[in-house]
Structure 1
Amino acid sequence: MNEAFPPGLPRAPDPLPQNCHIKKPRLIWYDRIRQGTQLNAIVEAVLLQAAVCELLVKHPHPNIAAYLGCQVSQGRITGLCFAAYQCTLMPQVNRAPASSDVMLDGRGEAVIIDFGSCKRVGESLEGASRTYERYDERVGTARLQNDLDALAEMRTRLGDGARPFLFGE
Protein backbone atom coordinates (compact mmCIF):
# COMPACT_ATOMS: atom_id res chain seq x y z
CA MET A 1 0.00 0.00 0.00
CA ASN A 2 1.19 3.53 -0.65
CA GLU A 3 -0.10 5.25 2.46
CA ALA A 4 1.56 5.15 5.86
CA PHE A 5 -0.40 3.62 8.73
CA PRO A 6 -2.69 6.44 9.93
CA PRO A 7 -2.71 7.41 13.59
CA GLY A 8 -5.83 6.58 15.56
CA LEU A 9 -6.44 3.16 14.07
CA PRO A 10 -5.69 0.21 16.36
CA ARG A 11 -3.11 -2.40 15.47
CA ALA A 12 -4.05 -6.06 15.61
CA PRO A 13 -2.50 -7.97 18.52
CA ASP A 14 1.06 -9.15 18.01
CA PRO A 15 1.35 -12.08 17.94
CA LEU A 16 -2.00 -12.64 16.26
CA PRO A 17 -4.55 -14.77 18.11
CA GLN A 18 -4.90 -18.29 16.71
CA ASN A 19 -8.62 -17.88 16.06
CA CYS A 20 -8.47 -14.90 13.70
CA HIS A 21 -8.77 -14.12 10.02
CA ILE A 22 -6.74 -11.48 8.19
CA LYS A 23 -8.66 -9.83 5.38
CA LYS A 24 -6.12 -8.79 2.75
CA PRO A 25 -6.63 -6.19 0.01
CA ARG A 26 -7.95 -7.62 -3.26
CA LEU A 27 -4.87 -7.21 -5.40
CA ILE A 28 -6.62 -8.96 -8.29
CA TRP A 29 -8.11 -5.52 -9.02
CA TYR A 30 -4.64 -3.96 -9.35
CA ASP A 31 -4.35 -4.08 -13.17
CA ARG A 32 -7.82 -2.60 -13.66
CA ILE A 33 -7.16 0.13 -11.10
CA ARG A 34 -3.71 0.96 -12.50
CA GLN A 35 -5.27 1.69 -15.89
CA GLY A 36 -7.99 3.91 -14.41
CA THR A 37 -8.08 7.30 -12.75
CA GLN A 38 -8.35 6.13 -9.11
CA LEU A 39 -4.81 4.91 -8.55
CA ASN A 40 -5.25 4.75 -4.77
CA ALA A 41 -8.54 2.82 -4.88
CA ILE A 42 -7.18 -0.24 -3.03
CA VAL A 43 -5.65 1.93 -0.30
CA GLU A 44 -8.82 3.97 0.03
CA ALA A 45 -10.98 0.81 0.20
CA VAL A 46 -8.86 -0.64 3.03
CA LEU A 47 -8.86 2.66 4.94
CA LEU A 48 -12.63 2.98 4.49
CA GLN A 49 -13.23 -0.52 5.85
CA ALA A 50 -10.88 0.15 8.79
CA ALA A 51 -12.80 3.36 9.59
CA VAL A 52 -16.15 1.55 9.36
CA CYS A 53 -14.83 -1.20 11.64
CA GLU A 54 -13.72 1.42 14.18
CA LEU A 55 -17.22 2.86 14.20
CA LEU A 56 -18.74 -0.60 14.61
CA VAL A 57 -16.42 -1.42 17.53
CA LYS A 58 -18.06 1.49 19.37
CA HIS A 59 -21.51 0.00 18.63
CA PRO A 60 -21.05 -3.79 18.89
CA HIS A 61 -23.68 -6.24 17.68
CA PRO A 62 -23.59 -10.06 17.75
CA ASN A 63 -24.23 -10.20 13.97
CA ILE A 64 -21.30 -7.92 13.10
CA ALA A 65 -17.81 -9.43 12.83
CA ALA A 66 -15.52 -8.85 15.80
CA TYR A 67 -12.78 -6.51 14.55
CA LEU A 68 -9.37 -6.86 16.19
CA GLY A 69 -7.40 -4.11 14.42
CA CYS A 70 -5.04 -3.52 11.51
CA GLN A 71 -2.19 -5.83 10.61
CA VAL A 72 0.76 -3.54 9.89
CA SER A 73 4.12 -4.26 8.27
CA GLN A 74 6.81 -1.65 7.66
CA GLY A 75 4.40 1.13 8.60
CA ARG A 76 1.70 0.06 6.10
CA ILE A 77 -1.64 -1.70 6.59
CA THR A 78 -1.37 -5.19 5.09
CA GLY A 79 -4.72 -6.49 6.31
CA LEU A 80 -7.63 -6.14 8.70
CA CYS A 81 -7.87 -8.66 11.53
CA PHE A 82 -11.22 -10.19 12.49
CA ALA A 83 -12.32 -13.07 14.68
CA ALA A 84 -12.52 -16.25 12.59
CA TYR A 85 -15.92 -17.76 11.91
CA GLN A 86 -16.98 -21.31 11.13
CA CYS A 87 -17.99 -21.06 7.45
CA THR A 88 -19.49 -18.79 4.82
CA LEU A 89 -23.20 -18.59 4.24
CA MET A 90 -22.90 -19.53 0.55
CA PRO A 91 -22.63 -23.34 1.01
CA GLN A 92 -25.92 -23.14 2.90
CA VAL A 93 -27.46 -21.43 -0.12
CA ASN A 94 -26.11 -23.41 -3.06
CA ARG A 95 -24.19 -26.28 -1.45
CA ALA A 96 -21.00 -25.24 -3.24
CA PRO A 97 -17.97 -23.66 -1.57
CA ALA A 98 -17.65 -19.96 -2.33
CA SER A 99 -16.51 -16.76 -0.71
CA SER A 100 -19.20 -14.69 0.95
CA ASP A 101 -19.64 -11.47 2.92
CA VAL A 102 -21.72 -13.31 5.51
CA MET A 103 -20.29 -16.02 7.76
CA LEU A 104 -21.84 -18.41 10.25
CA ASP A 105 -20.52 -18.56 13.79
CA GLY A 106 -20.31 -21.76 15.81
CA ARG A 107 -24.00 -21.47 16.79
CA GLY A 108 -25.27 -21.08 13.21
CA GLU A 109 -25.86 -17.33 13.59
CA ALA A 110 -25.14 -15.08 10.59
CA VAL A 111 -22.29 -12.55 10.98
CA ILE A 112 -21.61 -9.73 8.50
CA ILE A 113 -17.89 -9.52 7.69
CA ASP A 114 -17.61 -7.17 4.70
CA PHE A 115 -18.14 -3.43 4.80
CA GLY A 116 -16.85 -2.43 1.34
CA SER A 117 -20.12 -0.78 0.34
CA CYS A 118 -20.75 0.85 3.70
CA LYS A 119 -21.44 4.52 3.00
CA ARG A 120 -23.38 7.30 4.67
CA VAL A 121 -26.98 7.68 3.46
CA GLY A 122 -26.99 9.75 0.29
CA GLU A 123 -23.33 9.08 -0.64
CA SER A 124 -22.49 7.64 -4.05
CA LEU A 125 -21.93 3.90 -4.33
CA GLU A 126 -19.69 4.32 -7.36
CA GLY A 127 -16.64 2.14 -6.89
CA ALA A 128 -18.11 0.44 -3.82
CA SER A 129 -17.55 -3.28 -3.43
CA ARG A 130 -21.01 -4.84 -3.80
CA THR A 131 -21.98 -8.50 -3.87
CA TYR A 132 -23.39 -9.78 -7.15
CA GLU A 133 -27.08 -10.72 -6.95
CA ARG A 134 -27.51 -8.93 -3.61
CA TYR A 135 -28.04 -5.39 -4.77
CA ASP A 136 -30.10 -3.43 -7.25
CA GLU A 137 -27.74 -2.28 -10.02
CA ARG A 138 -30.01 0.71 -10.71
CA VAL A 139 -29.39 2.16 -7.23
CA GLY A 140 -26.38 4.47 -7.21
CA THR A 141 -26.55 6.03 -3.75
CA ALA A 142 -26.51 4.65 -0.22
CA ARG A 143 -29.93 4.41 1.37
CA LEU A 144 -31.41 2.37 4.20
CA GLN A 145 -33.70 0.48 1.81
CA ASN A 146 -30.62 -1.03 0.08
CA ASP A 147 -29.84 -3.11 3.17
CA LEU A 148 -33.44 -4.15 3.67
CA ASP A 149 -33.70 -5.24 0.03
CA ALA A 150 -30.44 -7.20 0.28
CA LEU A 151 -31.66 -8.93 3.44
CA ALA A 152 -34.95 -9.84 1.76
CA GLU A 153 -33.01 -11.24 -1.20
CA MET A 154 -30.82 -13.34 1.11
CA ARG A 155 -33.92 -14.73 2.82
CA THR A 156 -35.38 -15.70 -0.55
CA ARG A 157 -32.14 -17.40 -1.59
CA LEU A 158 -32.09 -19.31 1.69
CA GLY A 159 -35.45 -20.82 0.85
CA ASP A 160 -38.01 -18.43 2.31
CA GLY A 161 -39.96 -18.72 -0.97
CA ALA A 162 -42.28 -15.87 -0.05
CA ARG A 163 -41.42 -13.89 -3.18
CA PRO A 164 -39.37 -14.09 -6.40
CA PHE A 165 -35.72 -13.00 -6.58
CA LEU A 166 -35.23 -9.24 -6.84
CA PHE A 167 -31.75 -9.01 -8.37
CA GLY A 168 -31.43 -11.82 -10.92
CA GLU A 169 -30.41 -15.41 -10.66
Structure 2
Amino acid sequence: MPDRKHELDDDTVSSVSAMEALKISATPPILEIISADEVWRFPGPDDDFEPHFECMEVIVRMDTGDHFLVQVHERISSQDILNLDLSLLDLTSVAMEDIPHAFASFLANQLGIEIESTKSITVSKSDVCPTFSSSLTAAPAGMIKYCYLKYAQLAAYEPGNTIIKERVLAEANVCEVLMKNPHPNIMKYWGCYVVDGRIEALCLAKYTMTLAERVDTGVPLDTERCLTGIRDGIQHLHSLGLVHNDINSRNIMMDPADNPVIIDFDSCTREGEKMVKGWTLGWCIKDSMTGERENDFYGLIKLEEYLAAPESCMCCRE
Protein backbone atom coordinates (compact mmCIF):
# COMPACT_ATOMS: atom_id res chain seq x y z
CA MET A 1 0.00 0.00 0.00
CA PRO A 2 1.55 3.36 -0.97
CA ASP A 3 2.61 5.81 1.74
CA ARG A 4 0.18 8.76 1.46
CA LYS A 5 1.65 10.59 4.44
CA HIS A 6 3.17 13.35 2.30
CA GLU A 7 0.41 13.58 -0.28
CA LEU A 8 -2.08 16.50 -0.27
CA ASP A 9 -5.59 16.38 -1.62
CA ASP A 10 -6.81 19.02 -4.09
CA ASP A 11 -8.64 21.04 -1.41
CA THR A 12 -5.52 21.21 0.77
CA VAL A 13 -3.35 22.28 -2.16
CA SER A 14 -5.87 25.00 -3.01
CA SER A 15 -5.85 26.25 0.59
CA VAL A 16 -2.06 26.38 0.73
CA SER A 17 -1.92 28.20 -2.61
CA ALA A 18 -4.47 30.75 -1.38
CA MET A 19 -2.46 31.36 1.77
CA GLU A 20 0.71 31.91 -0.25
CA ALA A 21 -1.15 34.29 -2.57
CA LEU A 22 -2.25 36.40 0.38
CA LYS A 23 1.39 37.00 1.27
CA ILE A 24 2.01 38.50 -2.17
CA SER A 25 -0.26 41.46 -2.85
CA ALA A 26 -1.80 41.63 -6.32
CA THR A 27 -0.88 45.31 -6.28
CA PRO A 28 2.53 45.90 -4.64
CA PRO A 29 2.52 48.57 -1.92
CA ILE A 30 3.77 52.04 -2.74
CA LEU A 31 6.90 52.96 -0.78
CA GLU A 32 7.88 56.40 0.45
CA ILE A 33 11.23 57.28 2.00
CA ILE A 34 10.31 59.33 5.05
CA SER A 35 13.83 60.24 6.18
CA ALA A 36 17.50 59.35 5.86
CA ASP A 37 19.57 60.54 8.80
CA GLU A 38 22.95 59.98 10.34
CA VAL A 39 22.97 58.17 13.68
CA TRP A 40 25.80 59.13 16.00
CA ARG A 41 26.83 57.52 19.25
CA PHE A 42 27.63 59.94 22.04
CA PRO A 43 29.47 59.03 25.24
CA GLY A 44 27.71 59.00 28.59
CA PRO A 45 29.21 60.42 31.79
CA ASP A 46 31.17 57.19 32.45
CA ASP A 47 32.15 56.36 28.86
CA ASP A 48 35.63 56.77 27.46
CA PHE A 49 35.18 57.33 23.73
CA GLU A 50 34.68 60.16 21.29
CA PRO A 51 31.34 60.78 19.54
CA HIS A 52 31.33 58.76 16.35
CA PHE A 53 29.17 57.94 13.34
CA GLU A 54 27.26 54.68 13.73
CA CYS A 55 25.07 54.33 10.64
CA MET A 56 22.65 55.95 8.21
CA GLU A 57 19.09 55.16 9.21
CA VAL A 58 16.50 55.14 6.44
CA ILE A 59 12.81 55.12 7.40
CA VAL A 60 10.38 53.85 4.78
CA ARG A 61 6.58 53.93 4.89
CA MET A 62 4.31 51.71 2.81
CA ASP A 63 0.86 52.86 1.76
CA THR A 64 -0.50 49.99 3.88
CA GLY A 65 0.45 52.13 6.90
CA ASP A 66 3.37 49.88 7.82
CA HIS A 67 6.96 51.07 8.26
CA PHE A 68 10.40 49.54 8.18
CA LEU A 69 13.96 50.71 8.73
CA VAL A 70 17.14 50.10 6.83
CA GLN A 71 20.42 50.79 8.58
CA VAL A 72 23.41 51.45 6.33
CA HIS A 73 26.75 51.07 8.05
CA GLU A 74 28.52 53.28 5.53
CA ARG A 75 28.50 57.07 5.50
CA ILE A 76 26.64 58.14 2.38
CA SER A 77 24.72 61.25 1.41
CA SER A 78 21.22 61.60 2.88
CA GLN A 79 20.16 63.44 -0.26
CA ASP A 80 21.34 60.57 -2.48
CA ILE A 81 19.06 58.24 -0.51
CA LEU A 82 16.10 60.63 -0.59
CA ASN A 83 16.56 61.10 -4.35
CA LEU A 84 16.30 57.38 -5.16
CA ASP A 85 13.80 56.73 -7.94
CA LEU A 86 11.54 54.14 -6.32
CA SER A 87 9.71 53.58 -9.60
CA LEU A 88 12.72 51.44 -10.54
CA LEU A 89 12.06 49.07 -7.63
CA ASP A 90 9.93 46.16 -8.86
CA LEU A 91 8.04 44.56 -5.98
CA THR A 92 5.86 42.37 -8.17
CA SER A 93 5.73 38.84 -6.69
CA VAL A 94 7.66 39.97 -3.58
CA ALA A 95 6.09 38.72 -0.35
CA MET A 96 5.21 41.47 2.14
CA GLU A 97 7.70 40.21 4.72
CA ASP A 98 10.48 40.32 2.10
CA ILE A 99 9.90 43.93 1.01
CA PRO A 100 12.34 45.49 3.56
CA HIS A 101 15.16 43.24 2.31
CA ALA A 102 14.19 43.92 -1.32
CA PHE A 103 14.38 47.66 -0.66
CA ALA A 104 17.77 47.29 1.10
CA SER A 105 19.13 45.35 -1.92
CA PHE A 106 17.79 48.01 -4.28
CA LEU A 107 19.36 50.81 -2.19
CA ALA A 108 22.73 49.02 -2.09
CA ASN A 109 22.68 48.41 -5.86
CA GLN A 110 21.68 51.99 -6.71
CA LEU A 111 24.28 53.57 -4.42
CA GLY A 112 27.09 51.12 -5.15
CA ILE A 113 27.51 49.74 -1.63
CA GLU A 114 27.70 46.20 -0.30
CA ILE A 115 24.38 44.63 0.72
CA GLU A 116 26.24 43.23 3.76
CA SER A 117 26.57 46.80 5.08
CA THR A 118 22.77 47.09 5.37
CA LYS A 119 20.31 45.74 7.91
CA SER A 120 16.53 45.84 7.46
CA ILE A 121 14.18 45.95 10.44
CA THR A 122 10.41 45.54 10.32
CA VAL A 123 8.58 47.92 12.66
CA SER A 124 5.82 46.51 14.85
CA LYS A 125 2.87 48.87 15.30
CA SER A 126 2.44 47.64 18.86
CA ASP A 127 5.88 49.10 19.63
CA VAL A 128 5.31 52.55 18.13
CA CYS A 129 1.56 53.24 18.04
CA PRO A 130 0.02 53.80 21.49
CA THR A 131 -3.52 52.78 22.33
CA PHE A 132 -6.03 55.58 21.83
CA SER A 133 -7.94 56.59 24.95
CA SER A 134 -11.10 58.62 25.54
CA SER A 135 -9.01 61.40 27.15
CA LEU A 136 -7.67 62.21 23.68
CA THR A 137 -9.36 63.67 20.60
CA ALA A 138 -9.86 61.65 17.42
CA ALA A 139 -9.37 63.84 14.36
CA PRO A 140 -12.55 64.37 12.31
CA ALA A 141 -12.54 61.85 9.45
CA GLY A 142 -13.20 64.61 6.93
CA MET A 143 -10.04 66.49 7.96
CA ILE A 144 -7.54 63.63 7.65
CA LYS A 145 -6.74 64.14 3.96
CA TYR A 146 -6.14 67.86 4.49
CA CYS A 147 -3.79 67.43 7.47
CA TYR A 148 -0.09 66.92 7.83
CA LEU A 149 0.12 63.46 9.42
CA LYS A 150 2.99 63.26 11.88
CA TYR A 151 3.92 59.61 12.26
CA ALA A 152 6.10 58.24 15.05
CA GLN A 153 9.75 59.23 14.74
CA LEU A 154 11.47 55.86 14.34
CA ALA A 155 15.12 56.80 14.78
CA ALA A 156 16.89 54.28 17.03
CA TYR A 157 13.88 51.92 16.92
CA GLU A 158 14.44 48.60 18.67
CA PRO A 159 11.89 45.77 18.54
CA GLY A 160 10.12 45.41 21.88
CA ASN A 161 11.21 48.83 23.14
CA THR A 162 8.22 51.06 24.01
CA ILE A 163 10.01 54.44 24.27
CA ILE A 164 8.78 55.58 20.84
CA LYS A 165 5.10 55.05 21.55
CA GLU A 166 5.58 56.70 24.96
CA ARG A 167 6.90 59.77 23.14
CA VAL A 168 3.96 59.74 20.72
CA LEU A 169 1.53 59.62 23.63
CA ALA A 170 3.40 62.37 25.49
CA GLU A 171 3.26 64.64 22.42
CA ALA A 172 -0.45 63.86 21.94
CA ASN A 173 -1.12 64.93 25.52
CA VAL A 174 0.79 68.19 24.99
CA CYS A 175 -1.18 68.80 21.80
CA GLU A 176 -4.44 68.32 23.69
CA VAL A 177 -3.42 71.13 26.07
CA LEU A 178 -2.56 73.35 23.10
CA MET A 179 -5.88 72.53 21.42
CA LYS A 180 -7.72 73.81 24.47
CA ASN A 181 -5.44 76.87 24.67
CA PRO A 182 -4.81 77.96 21.05
CA HIS A 183 -2.38 80.67 19.99
CA PRO A 184 -1.68 82.05 16.47
CA ASN A 185 2.04 81.29 16.78
CA ILE A 186 1.51 77.68 17.90
CA MET A 187 0.68 74.92 15.42
CA LYS A 188 -2.94 73.84 14.93
CA TYR A 189 -3.70 70.29 16.12
CA TRP A 190 -6.83 68.49 14.90
CA GLY A 191 -6.54 65.30 16.92
CA CYS A 192 -5.25 61.76 16.51
CA TYR A 193 -5.46 59.64 13.38
CA VAL A 194 -6.78 56.40 14.88
CA VAL A 195 -6.56 53.02 13.14
CA ASP A 196 -7.74 49.83 14.84
CA GLY A 197 -7.74 51.52 18.23
CA ARG A 198 -4.15 52.82 17.98
CA ILE A 199 -2.75 56.28 17.32
CA GLU A 200 -1.29 55.98 13.83
CA ALA A 201 -0.34 59.68 13.58
CA LEU A 202 -1.04 63.15 14.93
CA CYS A 203 -3.13 65.33 12.59
CA LEU A 204 -1.67 68.83 12.25
CA ALA A 205 -2.32 71.82 10.06
CA LYS A 206 -0.15 72.11 6.95
CA TYR A 207 2.11 75.14 6.61
CA THR A 208 4.00 76.64 3.71
CA MET A 209 7.65 76.12 4.63
CA THR A 210 10.11 76.08 7.54
CA LEU A 211 11.82 79.27 8.66
CA ALA A 212 15.09 77.86 7.31
CA GLU A 213 13.47 77.30 3.90
CA ARG A 214 11.93 80.77 4.03
CA VAL A 215 15.34 82.33 4.64
CA ASP A 216 16.86 80.26 1.82
CA THR A 217 14.43 81.83 -0.69
CA GLY A 218 16.36 85.07 -0.40
CA VAL A 219 13.09 87.03 -0.25
CA PRO A 220 13.33 89.79 2.39
CA LEU A 221 11.77 88.80 5.73
CA ASP A 222 10.52 91.10 8.50
CA THR A 223 12.83 89.56 11.09
CA GLU A 224 11.64 91.73 13.97
CA ARG A 225 8.02 90.73 13.37
CA CYS A 226 9.07 87.10 12.99
CA LEU A 227 11.03 87.05 16.28
CA THR A 228 8.18 88.82 18.09
CA GLY A 229 5.76 86.12 16.94
CA ILE A 230 8.08 83.31 18.07
CA ARG A 231 8.61 85.03 21.42
CA ASP A 232 4.84 85.39 21.86
CA GLY A 233 4.38 81.68 21.16
CA ILE A 234 7.10 80.72 23.63
CA GLN A 235 5.61 82.91 26.35
CA HIS A 236 2.20 81.36 25.73
CA LEU A 237 3.70 77.90 26.22
CA HIS A 238 5.38 79.00 29.43
CA SER A 239 2.10 80.43 30.73
CA LEU A 240 0.70 76.89 30.41
CA GLY A 241 3.60 75.44 32.37
CA LEU A 242 5.16 73.94 29.22
CA VAL A 243 8.67 74.23 27.79
CA HIS A 244 9.35 73.41 24.12
CA ASN A 245 13.06 72.51 24.58
CA ASP A 246 13.89 72.41 20.86
CA ILE A 247 13.42 75.87 19.35
CA ASN A 248 15.35 75.99 16.06
CA SER A 249 14.98 77.17 12.47
CA ARG A 250 13.39 73.90 11.32
CA ASN A 251 10.86 73.78 14.14
CA ILE A 252 9.39 77.11 13.06
CA MET A 253 6.98 77.02 10.12
CA MET A 254 5.77 80.02 8.14
CA ASP A 255 2.08 80.35 7.29
CA PRO A 256 0.82 81.93 4.03
CA ALA A 257 0.75 85.37 5.70
CA ASP A 258 4.43 85.02 6.67
CA ASN A 259 3.64 84.49 10.35
CA PRO A 260 5.93 82.16 12.32
CA VAL A 261 4.35 79.06 13.88
CA ILE A 262 6.10 76.85 16.44
CA ILE A 263 5.82 73.11 15.67
CA ASP A 264 7.25 69.76 16.81
CA PHE A 265 6.39 69.13 20.46
CA ASP A 266 8.02 65.74 20.97
CA SER A 267 10.72 67.33 23.14
CA CYS A 268 8.18 69.41 25.09
CA THR A 269 7.89 68.83 28.85
CA ARG A 270 6.31 70.37 31.88
CA GLU A 271 8.64 72.94 33.41
CA GLY A 272 11.26 71.16 35.52
CA GLU A 273 10.51 67.67 34.17
CA LYS A 274 13.22 65.45 32.74
CA MET A 275 13.39 65.61 28.96
CA VAL A 276 12.28 62.41 27.23
CA LYS A 277 13.91 63.31 23.90
CA GLY A 278 17.13 65.12 23.12
CA TRP A 279 17.43 68.63 21.78
CA THR A 280 19.07 69.78 18.54
CA LEU A 281 22.82 70.22 18.84
CA GLY A 282 23.80 73.90 18.77
CA TRP A 283 20.31 75.17 19.57
CA CYS A 284 19.96 74.38 23.25
CA ILE A 285 21.99 74.85 26.41
CA LYS A 286 24.64 72.11 26.44
CA ASP A 287 23.92 69.18 28.77
CA SER A 288 20.45 70.49 29.61
CA MET A 289 18.45 67.54 30.94
CA THR A 290 15.24 69.13 32.22
CA GLY A 291 12.59 71.40 30.75
CA GLU A 292 13.60 74.95 31.69
CA ARG A 293 12.42 78.24 30.22
CA GLU A 294 16.06 79.13 29.59
CA ASN A 295 16.20 76.39 26.95
CA ASP A 296 13.58 78.18 24.85
CA PHE A 297 15.07 81.63 25.35
CA TYR A 298 18.50 80.26 24.36
CA GLY A 299 16.93 78.92 21.14
CA LEU A 300 15.33 82.31 20.55
CA ILE A 301 18.73 84.03 20.90
CA LYS A 302 20.17 81.57 18.37
CA LEU A 303 17.32 82.35 15.98
CA GLU A 304 18.08 86.05 16.31
CA GLU A 305 21.72 85.35 15.44
CA TYR A 306 20.64 83.15 12.54
CA LEU A 307 18.28 85.73 11.05
CA ALA A 308 20.94 88.44 11.38
CA ALA A 309 23.52 86.40 9.44
CA PRO A 310 22.16 83.02 8.24
CA GLU A 311 25.19 82.29 6.07
CA SER A 312 27.57 82.45 9.04
CA CYS A 313 25.42 80.81 11.74
CA MET A 314 27.22 77.54 12.51
CA CYS A 315 24.35 76.07 14.55
CA CYS A 316 22.16 75.95 11.45
CA ARG A 317 24.51 73.92 9.34
CA GLU A 318 23.91 70.20 9.02
**TM above 0.5:** yes
> 1:19-54, CA deviations, whole angstroms, 9 ceiling, x for partnerless residues?
421111112x2xx3417xx91111011101110011
Say if 1:57 and 1:24 are closer, same or farther in 2 by CA, change over 3 A.
Answer: same
> 1:90-141, CA deviations, whole angstroms, 9 ceiling, x for partnerless residues?
1134559xx922100011111011111111121112x414233321222111
2:245 counterpart of 1:123: no
Say if 1:17 and 1:24 are closer, same or farther in 2 by CA, change over 3 A.
Answer: closer
Worse-matched range after superposition: 133-142 or 107-116: 133-142
2:231 counterpart of 1:104: no
Secondary structure of 2:134's aligned partner: coil
> 1:45-93, CA deviations, whole angstroms, 9 ceiling, x for partnerless residues?
1101110011111211100001000001111101000111111111134
In the alignment, the residues of structure 1 paired with residue 148 and residue 304 of structure 2 have an alpha-carbon distance, to the nearest angstrom, of: 26
Quote the RMSD (CA, aligned, Å).
Answer: 2.7
TM-score, length of structure 1 as denominator length: 0.82
Contact 1:67–1:83 under 8 Å retained in 2 = yes
Q: Which amino acid aligns with 1:89?
A: L
User: Who is 2:23 aligned against?
Assistant: none
In the alignment, the residues of structure 1 paired with residue 314 and residue 267 of structure 2 have an alpha-carbon distance, to the nearest angstrom, of: 19
TM-score, length of structure 2 as denominator length: 0.45
User: Who is 1:34 aligned against?
Assistant: 158
Query: Which of the pair is proportionally richer in helix?
Result: 2
User: Who is 2:175 aligned against?
Assistant: 53
User: Who is 1:152 aligned against?
Assistant: 301
Contact 2:187–2:263 under 8 Å retained in 1 = yes
User: Who is 2:97 aligned against?
Assistant: none
Contact 1:22–1:82 under 8 Å retained in 2 = yes
Q: How does 1:8-27 map to 2 (within 5 A)?
A: 8-16=135-143, 18-27=145-154
In the alignment, the residues of structure 2 paired with residue 42 and residue 4 of structure 1 have an alpha-carbon distance, to the nearest angstrom, of: 13
In the alignment, the residues of structure 1 paired with residue 262 and residue 269 of structure 2 have an alpha-carbon distance, to the nearest angstrom, of: 15
Structure 2: give runs of 5+ residues left out of the alignment.
Answer: 1-124, 219-248
2:230 counterpart of 1:81: no
Structure 1: give runs of 5+ residues left out of the alignment.
Answer: none
Alpha-carbon distance, 1:167 to partner: 5.8
Contact 1:5–1:72 under 8 Å retained in 2 = yes
Contact 2:283–2:302 under 8 Å retained in 1 = yes
Say if 1:120 and 1:7 are closer, same or farther in 2 by CA, change over 3 A.
Answer: same
In the alignment, the residues of structure 1 paired with residue 274 and residue 260 of structure 2 have an alpha-carbon distance, to the nearest angstrom, of: 27
In the alignment, the residues of structure 1 paired with residue 299 and residue 314 of structure 2 have an alpha-carbon distance, to the nearest angstrom, of: 9
Secondary structure of 1:158's aligned partner: helix
Secondary structure of 1:80's aligned partner: strand
Structure exhibiting the larger radius of gyration computed from Cα positions: 2
Contact 1:135–1:167 under 8 Å retained in 2 = no
Q: Which amino acid aligns with 2:168?
A: V
Contact 2:144–2:203 under 8 Å retained in 1 = no
Count of residues in correspondence between the two structures: 159
Secondary structure of 1:90's aligned partner: helix
Say if 1:139 and 1:39 are closer, same or farther in 2 by CA, change over 3 A.
Answer: same
